[in-house]
Amino acid sequence: MRILIIEDELDLLRDLSHGLELKGYAVDQAKTGSVGFQMAMDEDYDLIVLDLNLPGMSGLEVLSRLRTEKPEIKILILSANHHLETKLTGFELGASDYLTKPFHFEELEARIRVLLNRKFIQQ
């Protein structure tokens, strides 16, 4: 399973990547929205973990553009933004799930597992 993490907090990006790799996932990283969007367009990922507050292109813009170009990709928003309006906007734009920071890695991994299982059940 291939996962792309688009996150600008370098320590979190490193920790997420390491943790998911230990669980057996192949993980790629992007530190900006624009780089992450291009990587998602160029490669086939099973799931994207997407921060919202990104340099280059906002996470909501990445989400909106990916839904237009690659509607089948599962996208889990991982954000410090707890506002209901932002969560609802994320879902309206096509987010598969939304998890707020701080979070427990075990919960993130469980949500990823569920999303990936749904993807393969639907195929």
pLDDT tens per residue, range 50-103: 999 999 999 999 999 999 999 999 999 999 999 999 999 999 999 999 999 999
Kindly tell me the sign of the dihedral angle through the C-alpha atoms of 85, 91, 94, 96. Answer: positive
What backbone phi and psi angles, to 5 degrees, belong to 89?
-60, -45
The tens digit of pLDDT for each residue in 23-59 reads 999 999 999 999 999 999 999 999 999 999 999 999 9
Cβ-based neighbour number of residue 58 at 10 Å: 14
Please state the pTM of the whole predicted model. 0.93
pLDDT of 119 reads 58
AA identity, residue 96: S
Most distant CA pair in the chain, distance: 35
